[in-house]
Amino acid sequence: MMLTVRELALHDGATHGIGGWMRFSKLRLNGFKSFVDPTDLIIADGLTGVVGPNGCGKSNLLEALRWVMGENRPTAMRGGGMEDVIFAGASTRPARNFAEVSLQLDNSERLAPAGFNDEDTLEVVRRITRDIGSAFKSNGKDVRARDVQMLFADASTGSHSPSLVRQGQIAELINAKPRARRRVLEEAAGISGLYQRRHEAELKLRGAETNLTRVDDVLEQLTAQLASLARQARQAKRYREIGAELRVAEGMLLYRRWKEADQARAEAEAALREMVTAAARGEAGAREAAKAREAAEAAIPPKREEEAIAGAVLQRLTVERDALASQEAAALEAVASLEKRIAQLGHDIERETGLNHDAGETIERLEWEAAEIVKASDGFGDELAQSAEQARGSAAVLQEREEALSKANEDTARLAARHQSAARFLEDAKASAGKIATRREDAEAAVAGAGEALSAAREAFAAAELMEQKAAEEAASSEQALTEAEAARADVQTREAAAHAARSEAEGEASALKAEVQALRRLLDRESSGGAQLLDELDVAPGFEKALG
């Protein structure tokens, strides 16, 4: 089996050059690409080499060295992103969440830069975490990537140093252009860090030139503002002069207004006291009228109650009288109707009696005729048969007459019963009419008494109404006096409020003028204390003040 061998060699584990002081002692990998477990590479004195077949991870060591020196290009790490350097997992191992590479340097000679020259051993650590990013540490302290890159640049090495030979780089160096060869020579001479610092210095110089240009622009703006401020100062001086005169005039005006407002306030207070006194008198009269009205109102309810009771009694008696009159009329009508029915029953009885008498006579006559027929039937068969036929017809007629008679008897009995019932109802109606007449007399007597009580109650109610009317008139007059007093009081309060408002306004204007005077005085003192002004030295001929302004 053929194996391709690659070698990573560090001669004496150190870099050489003009500024070369750095010696690598150990490289530690944890979770970096194929090195999932913590792995240490000890770089001893002499020649240290790593030998192995293709795919064993020799190139990963070189990339780890470049990465810890500050390499930020994912393509240099043979990946699409910087997080591709983290172990992505395998069939038997889960993926890691971070990768860390640590490089130990020997600083026993203390030739490192000032920020890294505190200890004999210098450890540079770079750690990357998924979705967070990478960070650098030096001996446990957080440092910038720029600081680490400058550290290795000062030692004539770094992530882009030609001394770190990757696969195929020898052929690139043989076929390189002169500029690339010059870069190799400069790094061998130990001046690559100087070029790096020169680049930074050039960037700072360009920034300083830009700032100077901006300063010139600001100076031009300030010059224009200075001219504007000088013009405004002249205007402010004129304003102070006019403002002083105006404030004197306004002060006199405000003082006069204040005096007038104070005088009006005093007059309003005097009028208020008079109105308060009048209001107190009106309130006293109103209280007396209210007491009289309460007394009258207290006397009214018993009278009204008596009137209501008398009215209720009168209404009840009137209703009873009307009911009794209705019952009496109904009883009289029933009596008249029963008398008519009794008379009709008497006529019916007489008619039925006559019919009974006629029926009896007819029966006697028929019996006599039957006897005569029996006597005459002796020896006469045909005549007998004829007579028998006549007798049967007479019997049928007799039966019809008997049925009519029995019906007439039934009607007579029924009419007699109805007559007896009507007689009893008539007697009851007469008795009820007597009772109704008695109750009517009692009701008329009660109505007469209730009328007298109602008249007395109406007289008492009229007297109470008269007293209430007098009390209402007194209360109305008191309320009118109280209303007038309250209106006068409100007027006085309105005038007092207006006076207070005018006084407050005057005091506010005076305070504003005082504040403005103090501000102008401070401004004037500040300007006068700053020394003589150029405008103070100018003398303007009369008539040219506006042109100077």
Q: pLDDT digits over 79-97, tens only? A: 888 888 999 888 888 989 9
Looking at residue 472, its pLDDT comes to: 66
Of the ranges 143-152, 310-319, 414-423, which one carries the lowest mean pLDDT score?
Answer: 414-423
Asked if the model's pLDDT at residue 281 lies above 70, the reply is yes
Whether the pLDDT of residue 444 is over 80: the answer is no
**Residue 71 φ/ψ, nearest 5 degrees:** -70, 130
Over pLDDT 70: what percentage of the chain?
A: 65
* pLDDT tens string 222-256: 988 898 888 888 888 888 889 888 888 888 988 88
Strand segments, DSSP code E, in 156-277 are none
| Per-residue b or e along 162-177, where b marks 16 or more CB atoms closer than 10 Å to that residue's CB | bebeeeeeeeeeeeee
Query: Higher-confidence residue: 160 or 24?
Result: 24
Measured CA to CA, the distance from residue 395 to residue 397 in angstroms comes to 5
| Ramachandran area for residue 95 (φ above 0: left; ψ -120 to 50: alpha; else beta) | beta
Cβ contact 127:98 at 8 Å: yes
- Range from 9-13, 91-95, 312-316 that averages highest in pLDDT: 91-95
Q: Is the pLDDT of residue 102 over 90?
A: yes
User: What letters, b where the CB count within 10 A reaches 16 and e where it falls short, cover 60-91?
Assistant: bbbbbbbbbbbbeeeeebeeeebbebbbeeee
The helix (H) or strand (E) run that includes residue 274 is: helix 192-376
**Which of 300-309, 320-329, 346-355, 465-474 has the lowest average pLDDT?**
465-474
Q: What is the mean pLDDT of the chain?
A: 75
pLDDT at 92: 87
- pLDDT value of residue 546: 65
The pLDDT of residue 1 is 25
Q: 267-273: list long-range contacts, CB under 8 Å, 24+ apart.
A: 268/492, 268/495, 268/496, 268/499, 269/496, 271/492, 271/495, 272/489, 272/492, 272/493, 272/496
